[in-house]
Amino acid sequence: MEPNIKIEISHSFLDWDKDEWNRLVPADSLFQEHEFLVGLEATGCIAKSDWVPVIVTAKKENTLVGILPAYLRKDSYGEYIFDFQWANAFHRAGIPYYPKLTVAVPFTPVTGSRFLLDPSLDNGDKQVLCDLLLTKLKEFGKQENVSSVHILFCKEEEQGFSEPAGFAPRLSHQYHWFNRGFQSFEDFLATLVKERRKSIRSERKKIGETGLKIQTLTGDLIESKHASIFYEFYKDTHSKKWGQAYLNRRFFEQMVETFKHRLLLVIAFHPNGDPIGGSWNFFRDGYLFGRYWGATEYVPNLHFECCYYRLIDYAIEHKMERVEAGAQGEHKFLRGYETVPMYSSHYIYHEQGRDAITSYLEKEIQMERENIAAYNSHSPIKSLREG
């Protein structure tokens, strides 16, 4: 297929047709859908945080068959696979670490396809296309004097696709919930050890006793007012954590306008009718992704109810395969989320820097494998704990 492939670079998601783009996006990678990426760009969220799109595309006979959405970065904030120590080491050695190139979804620590490829391709053609896309991206990086290229939260097979291009693999972990054919929430609880079953039942009972009204909304039940409500929740969370609020009000409004079919909102109301907290989530087919949480007042266990238990309820009712609730997560682990590996790949242009980081990553991978095994050996899920 190689002689017929045309590889180009563009710098705006607005340049692309939605249907042509989305044809290449798998169901478990909805944050690569055109509406989401355009939402980040059109509302100024990525420009404000210095994510400059570098969109590598492949066309065969005028048909889009491959996309590698990357970004030119001047820092590492909003990526969640941390390389600040690498940047400091480069700085101490007198070598610029920024700019760099990052292949990821901005502000979204969720595994998904980073190479968007025509689904009709076999593995051999996928490898050829990945090679072409990466070669173009590396050439662009060299022209821009970047230090490195980073493919974050990719799928395991994509890590393999990038290795022939000189990318070093990296391993980290998150906590995901898997539907093991459960028919009810109690069915799920039966898989946990006794003390965790008791604790979760107690947390849900206490929420039920507060008098709060909690709704789960999808589709046309989501209205424009919910964008403003959740932006206030989101803003309040970041102000309390002294973190950077990457998203603005217009982004939430645009998601309701253009991406409502992917939204699932869980919102809690005070007995007087005022909204006081909730979670903003996305779903497609069998996959549910928790993204943003916030509350204007503290209610014990409300976070767990809105961010974990209501999502599990929904996933069981709709026979969904998996719930992912983002980065971090000791609280998730204790509530029946399994520890799973996260994959990334890294290319360093500087030869000595590449050798040092590759050596470090080899040791880190072994440590992460041991960590994942150790976490799951102490899981509240009985089958994981037993082996």
Where do the domains of the chain lie, and which CATH numbers do they carry?
2-173+342-377 (3.40.630.30), 180-320 (3.40.630.30)
> Mind listing the pLDDT tens digit of every residue in the chain (387 residues)?
556 899 999 999 999 999 999 999 999 999 999 999 999 999 999 999 999 999 999 999 999 999 999 999 999 999 999 999 999 999 999 999 999 999 999 999 999 999 999 999 999 999 999 999 999 999 999 999 999 999 999 999 999 999 999 999 999 999 999 999 999 999 999 999 999 999 999 999 999 999 999 999 999 999 999 999 999 999 876 555 545 789 999 999 999 999 999 999 999 999 999 999 999 999 999 999 999 999 999 999 999 999 999 999 999 999 999 999 877 778 899 999 999 999 999 999 999 999 999 999 999 999 999 999 999 999 999 999 886
Q: What is the pLDDT of residue 236?
A: 78
Q: What is the pLDDT of residue 286?
A: 95
CB neighbour burial string for 42-53, b if at least 16 within 10 angstroms, e if fewer: bbebbeebebeb
Q: In the prediction, which pLDDT does 342 show?
A: 96
Q: CA-to-CA distance for 370 and 374, rounded, in angstroms?
A: 6
Q: What pLDDT is recorded for position 3?
A: 60
DSSP state of 32: G
Neighbours of 196 (CB within 10 A): 18
Amino acid at 116: L
What does DSSP assign to residue 173? E
Please give the Cα distance from 120 to 104 (Å, whole number).
Answer: 23
Which two three-digit tokens encode residue 26?
A: 């798998």
If you write DSSP's letter for every residue of 283-334 in order, what string do you get? EETTEEEEEEEEESS--TTHHHIIIIIHHHHHHHHTT-SEEE--S--HHHHT
198-204-207 Cα angle (round to 5): 140
